[in-house]
Amino acid sequence: MGLTRDYTVRESRRARHVRLQLSLREGLVIVVPKGFDQRLLPALLEQKQPWVERAWKRLQARGTSVQPQTTNALPHSLHLQAIGEEWTVEYKPAALPGVTVREKAARHLILSGKTSDRQACITALRRWLLRKAHQHLEPWLLQLAEEHGFEVRRVLVKSQRTRWGSCSAARTISLNLKLLFVSPNCARYALLHELCHTVELNHSTRFWALLEHHYPHCKTTARALRSSWREVPPVLDERQRRRRLR
């Protein structure tokens, strides 16, 4: 079966990740984000070939369309909306312990080492994202604190499972590195939300009035942020739940 050699590629401005679709009429269709480096597709298809063959047999038996879940696929692009960066990701097997990440020109990431170890690749990507979040989200938070007159004593960046951010009574703000994937408006809202908690450590009427003062129409952006988990590559967020701010 030559589906992985004979396929159709479609670019989508709305796509955030590579998606494989199968139908009896069109065969294999690969939907890629706008600007995705299509030279990376052969390696991806080699990895997904067993799934394609199994899905094609089920499709022929049922006479329906099949769209796979992509949670098991390692990302070949990372769209860091909050900081306006799009990175392509390449996986290079090498006789090295573990997996390392290198940044190349034109925002190209290369993961080298035991790239057949999916969890090692995920761990390496999270380490890289943690560095990016420290480089960008932490200074952004401190800049907003200075502009709006808030006092922050400490900033932490983590890979939190259920929160976009949190603030302690000691004015320590913890940010989720996954905020890199949300829109700039949603990221700014999340940062200001936590800064307001340095004054009002609750979600009282006073808190929302304070946030509205610093971020007009904040509740509209709050609703957008609640659905922004969809922007995070599933493989980097395997225990997806609704994110909340505290």
User: Is the pLDDT confidence value at 57 over 90?
Assistant: no
User: Is the pLDDT confidence value at 240 over 50?
Assistant: no
Percent of the chain with pLDDT over 70: 89
What's the pLDDT band for 243 if we cut at 50, 70, 90? Answer: very low
User: Is the pLDDT confidence value at 112 over 50?
Assistant: yes
Percent of the chain with pLDDT over 90: 49
What's the pLDDT band for 38 if we cut at 50, 70, 90? Answer: confident
What's the pLDDT band for 26 if we cut at 50, 70, 90? Answer: confident
User: Is the pLDDT confidence value at 219 over 70?
Assistant: yes
Beta-bridge partner residues of 178: none
Beta-bridge partner residues of 22: 28, 66
Q: What is the mean pLDDT of residues 176-197?
A: 96
> The tokens 């980097």 sit on which residue?
236
pLDDT at 63: 57
pLDDT higher at 152 or 240: 152
User: Is the pLDDT confidence value at 241 over 50?
Assistant: no
Integer Cα distance of 221 and 208 in angstroms? 13
pLDDT at 18: 83
pLDDT at 203: 93
What's the pLDDT band for 71 if we cut at 50, 70, 90? Answer: very low
pLDDT higher at 67 or 87: 87
Report yes or no on whether pTM surpasses 0.85.
no
